[in-house]
Amino acid sequence: MKNLMAKIINGKEIAARVRAELREEILSLKEKHGVTPGLSVVLVGDNPASRVYVRNKGKASEEVGIHSAQYDLPESTSEKELLDLVDRLNKDSSVSGILVQLPLPKHIDEEKVIEAILPSKDVDGFHPYNVGRLMIGAPTLQPCTPYGVMMLLDSTGVDLSGKNAVVVGRSNIVGKPMAMMLLKRNATVTICHSRTADLAEKIKSAEVLVAAIGKAKFVKGDWVREGAIVIDVGMNKDADGKLCGDVDFEGASERASFITPVPGGVGPMTIAMLLKNTVESARKAAGL
C-alpha cells in the first residue's frame, strides 16, 4: 500500500468540540438570562432511517442542555394536522427551533410544510427566506450540512479565497447552499451534476472538492487533484454492505492533502450545526 498523503479531517472530534462549546454557552444562557433553548422535532410515519436520525438529534440536544421534544405522528396524519402542529409550535415561546424530519409521506406537500415554519425557528435552514438570505450573502440560519462542511474546511487552516472549489451535486439541502457559502469565502465555485459534460475533468481542477451526489465511490481516486481538500458528504453502502461515501477513499487519500472519512466526517457535524442553530435562534428570540 502506498503512503497515504492525506490528513484525515476528524468530524467526530470537531463536532465534540462544538457540542462542548454549546454546553458552556447554554449554561450561561440559563444562569444569566433564564433562557433554555428548546428544539421540537416532528416525525411523520415510520421511516427507519428517519427514526434513527430523530433519536440521535434528541440525544445530542439533551447532552448539551437543549430541551428536546419529539412529536411522533402516524403515517396517516393529514397535511392540515401537521400544519396545525407547526402553527402551535410557531406560537410557543419555549420552542426555539422546529424541525420536521424529511422525507414526509407522499400525501403531504413538503414545500408547504417548510414554508409554514417561522424563518426564525427554521433550524434546518430550508425556509425560502433563510435560503434567500444565504443567496445575497447575509445568512441567518444556515442549512446544517453545508454549514458543518465549512467548519471542517476551516479546521484545515487553508484560506479558501481564490481557490477553485467544485461542488458535485445540486440539491437544495447541500449542493446549492454549499456553493453559496464557498462563494461568500471568495472561492471560485463550479457546480457539477449528473448532466455535467467531462465531469472527471472538472473534478480534476478542484483545489477544494465537495462530493454530495449519493453514489457509492463515484469519484475515482485519480480524478482528485494532487493536494486537494476532499469533503465527502455521501452516505452509501458499497457492494459488501459497508458504509462508504461518494469518493473512493483509498484512491483519493493518496492524492489529497486533507480528506473526510465516511462515517465520522460530515455526519456528526450536521447534528452539531443543528444544535448551534437552535442556540442561535434562542439567543435572537431573547434579544441577546
- Residue 26 domain flag: no
Question: Cell numbers of 207, please?
Answer: 483545489
Domain that residue 91 falls in: 34-119
Are 78 and 162 within one domain?
A: no
Give bridge partners of residue 99 from the DSSP assignment: 41
pLDDT digits (tens, 9 = 90+) for 108-128: 999 999 999 999 999 999 999
- Residue 219 domain flag: yes
- Residue 79 domain flag: yes
Task: Give the pLDDT confidence score for residue 1 in this predicted structure.
Answer: 44
Are 232 and 196 within one domain?
A: yes
Are 43 and 148 within one domain?
A: no
Q: Into how many domains does the chain fold?
A: 2
- Whole-structure pTM value: 0.95
**Mean predicted confidence (pLDDT) in 205-224:** 97
CATH code of the domain in which 52 resides: 3.40.50.10860
Query: Does residue 34 register a pLDDT over 60?
Result: yes
Are 160 and 261 within one domain?
A: yes
Just list the catalytic residues. 57, 101, 124
Task: Give the pLDDT confidence score for residue 2 in this predicted structure.
Answer: 52
Are 262 and 160 within one domain?
A: yes
Task: Give the pLDDT confidence score for residue 5 in this predicted structure.
Answer: 86
pLDDT, the chain, mean? 96
Are 114 and 149 within one domain?
A: no
Give dist(CA 41, CA 22) in Å, integer: 19
- Residue 21 domain flag: no
